[in-house]
Amino acid sequence: MKNRDNTNFVCVLKTGKLFEHDIASNALKEKEIPFYKQLETSSGLRLAMPFQPSMGPGTWYNILVHPQFADEAKAIINDLPIDSSNDPDVWHFGPNKKIKKAWKIFIWFILLVGFLYLFFGLIKNLV
């Protein structure tokens, strides 16, 4: 049996935009370059690409290839009309200003509720 090293895959694209991920994966498929699609979250969780992915803050879509195909895959992706950086921020999924503001308000609300719950729990235990 051949000795295969399947653990050292190289990330050639990391994006928060699902349409960019689809464009890149289609281009690699047309050039017959084998690749692996992966979902990554801001918590560090990495999963094989889900069937019904959804965009949101802290969710990225990765394309990984074997090192022998990395240079060719990067060249193909760099020629595409997409942002080919491998270090996108949490808001890379491209929301408009209203959606971004709504997410930030929601997050601050959740943090406030958590803090108040903790605070009143401590007060209740001290009394």
Q: Each residue of 72-93: pLDDT tens digit?
A: 999 999 999 998 878 888 878 8
**What is the mean predicted confidence (pLDDT) over 53-75?**
91
Task: Name the pTM for this structure.
Answer: 0.72
If pLDDT is split at 50, 70 and 90, which confidence band does 1 have?
A: very low
Contact 103, 95 (CB under 8 A): yes
pLDDT at 66 > cutoff 90: yes
Chain centroid, CA 98 distance in Å: 22
Contact 63, 17 (CB under 8 A): no
What pLDDT shows up at residue 7? 67
**Contacting residues for 60 by C-beta, under 8 A, at least 6 apart:** 14, 15, 16, 39, 40, 41, 88, 92
